Amino acid sequence: MHFQSVTFDLDGTLLDTVPDLAEASNRMLAELGLPPRGEDEIRRFVGQGVVILVRRCLDRGMPPDEAQLARAVEVFKPHYAAVNGQKTRIFDGVLAGLDAWQATGLPLAVLTNKPAAFTEPLLERMGLTGYFSAIVSGDSTPFRKPHPEPLRHACTRMGRAVRTNLHIGDSRHDIETARAAGCTVYCVPYGYNEGEPVRREDCDALVESLGEALRTAMMSKAG
C-alpha cells in the first residue's frame, strides 16, 4: 500500500456526537431565553466548529451580531463540557476498522474542527485516544478545515509527507481540505455533511466503513 499515514475526521466519521451537541445547544438556548432546536436541525448545523454551530442555532431569519454570537459561544462551552461524551456513540464498524488500520503500522491521526478542550476529553472517554499518534483540533493551528493547514500539521506531527496521506471523512469540508492539501480522500456515507449526501464523484472513493476503506486502499495504486 502506497499510503504512509491516515487522518480521520471525528464528528460524523468516527463518532455520532449530535445527541450531546443538541443537548448543549438547547441548554444554551434555554439560558439565553430562546426556543430549542430539534436534533435533526443540529445534525445539519454540525461540521464547521463550535462558532458556526452556535451561529446557526441563533439564526432564525436574522443572523446574530458579533456580540450576541460571542456571548452565546461562551454560554455554550460549559454546557457542552458538562455533557461531552454522555450520549455520543461510536459508529458501527469504527472500532474494528481502527484496529485493522492500526495493525498496518501506519501512524494515524484525528483531524477535527472541534476545540481541543472538547476533542481530547471526548476521545479519552470513548476509549479511542490510543489509536492516534496525533490529534489536531480546531484551535491547534490558526486555521480550521477546509483550510489545508490542519491536515498539513497532522502530517508533520506524524512525520509523513502530505501527498502520501489518506484522509477519511464524511463531508465536503473533508474533501475540500484534502484537495487543498494535495492528498487522497475517501468518504463514508453515514455522516453529517450539513444534511446533504456525499457524492461519490467528488471524492476518491465512497466507502461504507473504515474496514472497506482499508481494503480499497490496499487495492489502490500510487498516482
The residues spanned by each domain of the chain are 5-16+88-219, 18-83
**pLDDT for 48:** 84
Residue 109: which H helix or E strand, with range?
A: strand 108-111
The larger pLDDT score, comparing residue 100 to residue 221, is at 100
Assigned CATH topology for domain 5-16+88-219: Rossmann fold (3.40.50)
Cα separation of 70 and 55, whole Å?
9
Catalytic residue among 9, 11, 170, 174: 9
Reported confidence tier of residue 1, pLDDT bands at 50, 70, 90: confident
- Which tens digit of pLDDT belongs to each residue from 138-193? 999 999 999 999 999 999 999 999 999 999 999 999 999 999 999 999 999 999 88
d(CA 106, CA 26): 40
Instruction: Please confirm, yes or no, whether 40 is among the known catalytic residues.
Output: no
Q: pLDDT tier at 195 (50, 70, 90 boundaries)?
A: confident
Peptide bond into 146 cis (omega under 30): yes
Residue listed under C-alpha cell 476529553: 121
Cα dihedral sign, 32-142-139-50: positive
Task: Report the pLDDT averaged over residues 87-105.
Answer: 97
Cα–Cα dist 28/214, whole Å: 40
Which string of DSSP letters, residue by residue, matches 133-160? SEEE-TTSSS--TTSSHHHHHHHHHHT-
- Give, in order, the Cα–Cα distances in Å from 40 to each of 44, 120, 164: 7, 25, 36
Name the strands in the sheet holding 165-169, side by side, starting at the edge strand that comes first in the sequence: 134-136, 108-111, 5-8, 165-169, 184-187, 205-206
Q: What is the pTM of this model?
A: 0.93
Mean pLDDT for the chain? 95
Q: 18-83: which CATH topology?
A: DNA polymerase; domain 1 (1.10.150)
- The terminus-to-terminus CA distance of the chain in angstroms comes to 12
